[in-house]
Amino acid sequence: MLNTVRYDGPAGTPLLIAHGLFGSARNWGVIAKRLSADRPVIVVDMRNHGNSPWFDSQSYADMAADLAEVIDQPMDVLGHSMGGKAAMVLALKHPEKLRRLIVADIAPVPYQHTQMGPLSAMRRVDPAKVSNRNDAKEQLGELEPGVADFLLQSLDMKDKRWRLNLDVLESDMPQIVGFPDVTGIFDGPTLFLSGANSSYVLPEHRPIIRSLFPNAKFAKIPGAGHWLHAEKPREFEAAATAFLNMPAAG
């Protein structure tokens, strides 16, 4: 069972949040707490991340099964990046477990990029020889702005280890940046919420999105990139809340 962090809220449909690659539930703490003003919120550590168990696979079928195990009643589900792909596979395989779906800045398509840069940077760090986070940041080397601080949230200074299964994340990177062949349709309300400055969800992706999620709607957050929830948290929260609180059709 995945590690979960729960935020109590008023009675209603709970919201489940699935983070992206190299992330953890703690990355979503502020947003989850604010969203819990309207509903209970559950944030998971995905497999091989945070305080969840380590496994020898990072496939989307396995990640979707992990999420299904957490859901004990129909829930709303929000997933970002890798978590968004896992949430989509969950919705396609187990549509009865979801009421609404929010997919944050990702599409159900394979991508050509790789995330080996940050992974290689983490391998340069020797946690046993790190006395503080500044030491670790220096060992990470040059990364895009904000990436080093994000990665260091997964460095356990007390136990001198990464809370990430780097070996499996590296071996399964082709699956992580890809998307599985999966049949099914989720016809519940779905929001593809993207950063206006991001190129992860493109107009040419809409036909495949609509074939799998026929009730999909699309929205963009101005001034935000792929990390839209971190770059524009208030706007992200407002968009998510408006969608989750929309009256049911019919």
- Which residues are identified as catalytic? 81, 167, 226
Tell how far CA 245 is from the center of its chain: 21
How far is Cα 96 from Cα 90, in angstroms, rounded to an integer?
10
**Cα within 13 Å of Cα(25), Cβ side:** 20
Q: How far apart are CA 152 and CA 238, in angstroms?
A: 28
For residues 159 and 164, give the distance between their C-alpha atoms in angstroms, rounded to a whole number.
13
| 17 close to 32: Cβ distance less than 8 angstroms | yes
Comparing CA positions, the residue from 118, 91, 85, 130 lying closest to residue 103 is 85
- Identify the H or E element spanning 121: helix 116-123
Spatial distance between the Cα atoms of 144 and 118, rounded to a whole number of angstroms: 9
Classify each residue of 117-151 as buried b or exposed e, where b means 16 or more C-beta atoms within 10 Å of its C-beta: ebbebbeebeeeebeeeeebbebbeeeeeebbebb
